[in-house]
Amino acid sequence: MMPRISNCFRTAIVMLLLADNAATAQTQTIQKPMSKSALRQQDREECIKQAVQQNIAEHDRAAPVRKCMADRQATRKASQKKGPT
């Protein structure tokens, strides 16, 4: 009786793992590229987060955030010129 239960349990685990892998593969292929405005928004949020972590006062954040956003955009453009790897 015990081996039969453990075989069923193993089979169920394997089926769950295979189903999870198939679902993950589907979601990775469906992703669309982000729009320019969405990328800018994401950059701005990340740069503000960095400024807060660096303890830059709110009224002094404009220049560091602009520089951070420009650096991120330049990095993205350079990687697009190289092409997907």
Identify the residue with better confidence: 45 or 10: 45
Per-residue pLDDT tens over the stretch 18-45: 777 655 555 555 667 888 899 999 999 9
The contacts of residue 66 (CB under 8 Å, 6+ apart) are none
The pTM score is 0.57
Q: Is the pLDDT of residue 12 over 60?
A: yes
Ramachandran bin of 83, using left for φ above 0, alpha for ψ from -120 to 50, beta for the remaining angles = left
Per-residue pLDDT tens over the stretch 39-73: 999 999 999 999 999 999 999 999 999 999 999 99
Residue 80: what pLDDT?
84
Residue 42: what pLDDT?
94
